[in-house]
Structure 1
Amino acid sequence: MSEYILTGPDGTEFDIKSGPIRLSSAGIMGLSMPPFEAYTRETAALDGQVLTGYRTGPRTVFLPLLTPMGLGVDEWLASESAFWKIMDPEVTCRLTVSSSADVVRFLDLRFVGDGDLAFDLDPTDVTGYPFGLEMVADKPFWRGPLTSKVFQTAADTGNFYAPPGSSFVFTIGSASTVAGATVSNPGDTPAWPTHTVYGPAVSFSINVGGSVISATLALAAGEWLTIDTNPTAQIARKWVAGVGTIVPFFQFSSIQFAQIPRGGSVPVDIVLNGAGSVQVAFSPQYRRAF
Structure 2
Amino acid sequence: MGIAYAAPYLPPPPPVSPWRGVKLSWTGWDGSEWELTNPASGLFLMPGVRGLGLPEFERQSSASPAVAGSRHLGTSTKDRTVFWPLYLYSDSGSAEFMARDRAFWRSLDPDSEGTWTAVLPDGTKRFLRCRLTSAEDEWTHDPVQRGWARYAINLLADQTYWLGEAVTRSWAQDDLRDFYITEHDRTEFGYADDVIHYLSAGGSLDGATFTNDGDVPSFPVWTIVGPVTAVAFGVDGKNIIVPFEIPAGYGVQIDTDPVEGQVLWYGHWDAAAEVITDPVDRTSELDPTSAFVSIPAGQDLPLSFSMTGAGAISVTVQNKYRRAT
TM exceeding 0.5: yes
Structure 2 gap segments, 5+ residues each: 1-20, 176-185, 187-191, 270-276
Structure 1 gap segments, 5+ residues each: 156-163
1:140-289 equivalences in 2 (<5 Å): 140-154=160-174, 166=193, 168-232=195-259, 233-240=261-268, 242-252=277-287, 254-289=289-324
Q: What is the identity, as a one-letter code, of the residue corresponding to 2:105?
A: W
Question: Does the CA-based 8 Å contact 2:86-2:150 persist in structure 1?
Answer: yes
Q: Distance in 2 between matches of 1:228 and 1:207?
A: 12
Question: Does the CA-based 8 Å contact 1:193-1:228 persist in structure 2?
Answer: yes
Please say if 1:133 is aligned against 2:153.
yes
User: Which has the larger share of helix?
Assistant: 2
Q: Give structure 1 regions of 4+ aligned residues with deviation exceeding 3 angstroms.
A: 164-169, 251-254
Report Cα offsets for 1:132-169 as digits up to 9, x if no partner: 111010001000000222122348xxxxxxxx975644
Q: What is the identity, as a one-letter code, of the residue corresponding to 2:95?
A: D
Question: Does the CA-based 8 Å contact 2:201-2:309 persist in structure 1?
Answer: yes
Number of residue pairs aligned between Structure 1 and Structure 2: 280
Q: CA deviation at 1:53?
A: 1.5
* More deviation, 203-212/103-112: 203-212
Q: Distance in 1 between matches of 2:61 and 2:220?
A: 30
Question: Does the CA-based 8 Å contact 2:229-2:244 persist in structure 1?
Answer: yes
Question: Does the CA-based 8 Å contact 1:195-1:226 persist in structure 2?
Answer: yes
Question: Does the CA-based 8 Å contact 2:29-2:108 persist in structure 1?
Answer: no
Please say if 1:20 is aligned against 2:48.
no
Q: CA deviation at 1:207?
A: 3.1
Q: CA deviation at 1:278?
A: 1.1
Please provide the CA RMSD for this pair.
Answer: 1.8
Q: CA deviation at 1:177?
A: 1.4
Q: CA deviation at 1:270?
A: 1.3
* More deviation, 2-11/56-65: 2-11
SS in 1 for 2:148: coil
Q: Distance in 2 between matches of 1:135 and 1:183?
A: 33
Q: Distance in 2 between matches of 1:123 and 1:282?
A: 45
Q: What is the identity, as a one-letter code, of the residue corresponding to 2:206?
A: A
* More deviation, 38-47/94-103: 38-47
Structure-2 change in CA distance of 1:16 and 1:26 (3 Å):
same
